[in-house]
Amino acid sequence: MVRYPDAATVTAVVTTITDGEYASESTTTTDIKGRFEPSEGITRVPTPGGEYTDLKGKFFTKAEKITGAEKLTVNGTIYRIIYWYKYQTYAEIWLD
């Protein structure tokens, strides 16, 4: 059994601020390996903005947290990243 059988692409947006003003914005993509588990039933979770959304799945990986990560594409489906929790040996990414 392969612990992390799925490949995913993380899209991150990095904003550069110089002297307190917006200077530039760039988008990067990074490929990571992990395991995607779709949500079973309806799981309502709070977003960082304070609203609630239905959790569509979780992605488990050993990859380090990527600054500015906004989207994760796995199996041809694009998900919005709600949270990226880093634990001692792996990370758990909550997807909307």
The DSSP-derived string for 63-95 is: SPPPTTEEEEEETTEEEEEEEEEE-SS-EEEEE
**Comparing C-alpha atoms, which of 50, 47, 52, 51 is closest to residue 81?**
47
**Model confidence at 16: pLDDT above 90:** no
Q: What is the pLDDT of residues 35-84, one digit of tens each?
A: 999 998 778 888 888 888 889 999 999 999 999 999 999 999 999 999 99
- pTM of the full predicted structure? 0.85
Residue ranges covered by each domain of the chain = 6-95
The whole-number average pLDDT for the span 26-38 is 94
